[in-house]
């Protein structure tokens, strides 16, 4: 049985190593592969996957909105968020789910109830984080994006510049390929209690956002932990089994 991750780019993804470790631990004869697909070929490619032996696929930048649009059915979370990161192929149909929201909350490790939050970015991942924070009872959720109109579309309070908050989440792609933080005006944020970066690097090295967050004294949640938690939920959707989380974590840990 095949699964994979659809993205553009997708070369840095640690999902194949993590999910293949999970399949081995669960003694399943499944395989997970990278599927680099440009936006103009996304819909066509997805529709060919079931006939090629695929049970499902994760979806990453920049396809999360398109994934929901082409699905035949979708979970309540995916509909509410307006984006999907997990597709399942069964009985001739495509089902869309969003494990970014649940994965983010699990990685956060504490309830955001009655706490303030700032989300940097307004793409598909940011949509999931905003929805998760609001659904979990955050007192206030602010969104900053270089394009203010996109921030306003997420259903949270849009801000012109980043501002202090208990929880700060980087949902932009800044730091994915370089160390330049200049496009994120972080000087006014101060010292959050918790800082979460959805970005991670293939070699497991620290991102510039997590380096900044550590210097402020914040408790840091890195992108690998978020990846682990959303990947575990995807595994459970596809297989109907509990995810072997420790085997998955060990595979992607930069210390192993």
Q: What tokens does 118 get?
A: 């700032």
Which of 14, 55, 63, 64 is flagged as catalytic? 64
Report yes or no: 227 and 18 within 8 Å, Cβ to Cβ: yes
CA distances to 58, 94, 118, 171 from 121, rounded to whole Å, are 21, 28, 10, 5
Query: For tokens 């380096």, what's the residue?
Result: 211
Q: Is 94 helix (H, G, I), strand (E, B) or coil?
A: strand
Residue 168: strand pairing partners: 118, 195
Write the Ramachandran bin of 89: left for phi over 0, alpha for psi from -120 to 50, otherwise beta.
beta
* Distance in angstroms (rounded) separating the CA atoms of residues 171 and 104: 11
Residue 250 among the catalytic residues: no
For residue 198, give the nearest of 166, 227, 231 by alpha carbon: 227
Neighbours of 217 (CB within 10 A): 11
For residue 22, give the nearest of 255, 254, 234 by alpha carbon: 234
Omega within 30 of 0 (cis) for the link into 9: yes
Q: Which residues are catalytic?
A: 64
């Amino acid at each position: 049985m095949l699964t994979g991750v659809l993205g553009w780019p997708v070369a840095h993804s640690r999902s194949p190593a993590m999910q293949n470790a999970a399949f081995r631990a669960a003694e399943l004869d499944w395989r997970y592969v990278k599927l680099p697909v440009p936006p103009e070929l996304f819909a066509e490619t997805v529709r060919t996957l079931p006939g090629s032996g695929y049970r499902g696929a994760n979806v990453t930048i920049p396809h999360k909105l398109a994934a929901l649009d082409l699905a035949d059915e979708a979970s309540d979370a995916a509909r509410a968020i307006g984006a999907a990161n997990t597709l399942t192929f069964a009985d001739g149909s495509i089902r869309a789910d969003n494990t970014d929201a649940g994965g983010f909350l699990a990685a956060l490790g504490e309830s955001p109830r009655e706490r303030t939050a700032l989300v940097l970015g307004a793409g598909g991942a940011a949509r999931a984080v905003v929805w998760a924070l609001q659904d979990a009872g955050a007192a206030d959720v602010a969104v900053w994006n270089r394009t203010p109109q996109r921030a306003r579309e997420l259903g949270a309070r849009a801000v012109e510049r980043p501002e202090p908050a208990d929880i700060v989440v980087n949902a932009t792609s800044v730091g994915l390929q370089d160390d330049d933080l200049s496009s994120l005006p972080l000087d006014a944020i101060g010292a959050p209690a918790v800082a979460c970066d959805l970005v991670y690097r293939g070699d497991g090295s620290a991102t510039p956002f997590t380096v900044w967050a550590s210097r402020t004294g914040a408790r840091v949640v890195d992108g690998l932990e978020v990846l682990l938690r959303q990947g575990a939920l995807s595994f459970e959707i596809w297989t109907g089994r509990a995810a072997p989380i420790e085997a998955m974590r060990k595979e992607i840990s930069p210390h192993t």
